[in-house]
Each structure stands twice: as C-alpha cells, then as structure tokens.
C-alpha cells in the first residue's frame, strides 16, 4: 500500500503544479496555458492559419475557433484575409499578444521540455512508457489532449 500512496502523491503533485502554473499565468497574463500556447505558436512567425495551429496542437477546428475568439477579444491576435490566398484567414499576433508572451512566467511546459531533453535517450523512453501506462491505468489514453500542461477544458470554456 505504501507504493500506491507514493504514486498517488506524485500524481497529485503533478496536478497541483499544473494548476498552480495555470493560476500564475492567468494572474500575470490573463491567459490559460492553452491560450498562451496558441500565442506562442502564432508568434513564431508572427502569423499562422487557424488550421495550422489546430493541427500542430492536435485540437479540433471548433476548439481552435473558440480559443482564437477569446484571444481576439483580448486584442492579442487579429484575423486578416491572407495575401497569399484570399480564401484563407491569417491569425496575426498583436503588440499586446507579444507583450503577454514576453511578460509571462516561464511556462511549466518549457521547464519540463528543458529537463526532459537533458535526460538520456533511455530515460526519456522509460519516462514516456511510464506516463503512457499511467494514462492507460486511468482510462485516459483515449482522451483528446494537446501537448500542453494544463487542467480543465482545453477550449477555455467554463465547465
């Protein structure tokens, strides 16, 4: 039973860390981690298409539309007709969006990525296998999830 308790404590710590980061990000930038990740993706080139962002983040077009609507209301992105293809709409980061990225705390996900990439290949593989096993044990292996450390509804809609 001691190992069960130890594993549940570790899971709870992971959940709490993501929850606390989400609150810090909301307080400092007024964004959820998922909204912040959308801004990061758009900021890489200064623009992107909704479809490209949705594909990269492994979310549906409907979820991406909801996320972009919220970011547009916060004046962090704008929608513009594409100059390359008039049938498409480009998502462009605004100065407000760029400032939110610059002022945000170091993303929990970025800390994880740096530390994960510092591991040996065998350690990375072992960790991935263990995490996938935990997801399966929780019947969570079929849940739609993007590669963003966050809790709650990915669209940012209230539950």
Domains of the chain with CATH codes: 2-137 (1.10.10.10)
Residues 26-44 have a mean pLDDT of 86
32, two tokens: 């959820």
Residue 159 has pLDDT above 50, yes or no: no
Report the mean per-residue pLDDT for the chain: 84
Tens of pLDDT, residue by residue over 80-128, are 987 887 788 999 999 999 998 888 777 677 788 889 999 999 999 999 9
Most confident of 13-22, 36-45, 80-89, 103-112: 36-45
- Report the C-alpha gap between 79 and 69 in whole angstroms: 10
Looking at residue 157, what is its pLDDT?
46
Of 8 and 118, the one with more pLDDT = 118
Residue 44 has pLDDT above 60, yes or no: yes
Looking at residue 14, what is its pLDDT?
86
To the question of pTM greater than 0.85 for the whole model, the response is no
Asked if residue 82 lies in contact with residue 89, where contact means CB atoms within 8 angstroms, the answer is: yes
Residues 88-104, buried b or exposed e (16+ Cβ, 10 A)? ebbbebbeebeebbeeb
Looking at residue 71, what is its pLDDT?
96
């Amino acid at each position: 039973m001691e190992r069960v308790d130890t594993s549940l404590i570790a899971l709870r710590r992971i959940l709490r860390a993501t929850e606390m980061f989400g609150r810090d990000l909301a307080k400092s930038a007024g964004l959820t981690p998922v909204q912040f990740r959308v801004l990061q993706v758009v900021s890489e080139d200064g623009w992107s298409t909704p479809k490209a962002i949705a594909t990269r983040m492994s979310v549906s077009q409907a979820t991406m539309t909801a996320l972009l609507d919220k970011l547009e209301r916060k004046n962090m992105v704008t929608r513009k007709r594409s100059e390359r293809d008039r049938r498409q709409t480009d998502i462009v980061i605004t100065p407000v969006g760029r400032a939110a990225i610059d002022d945000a705390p170091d993303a929990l996900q970025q800390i994880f990525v740096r530390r994960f990439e510092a591991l040996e290949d065998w350690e990375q593989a072992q960790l991935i296998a263990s995490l996938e096993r935990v997801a399966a044990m929780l019947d969570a292996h079929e849940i739609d999830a993007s590669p963003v450390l966050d809790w709650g509804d990915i669209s940012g809609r209230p539950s």
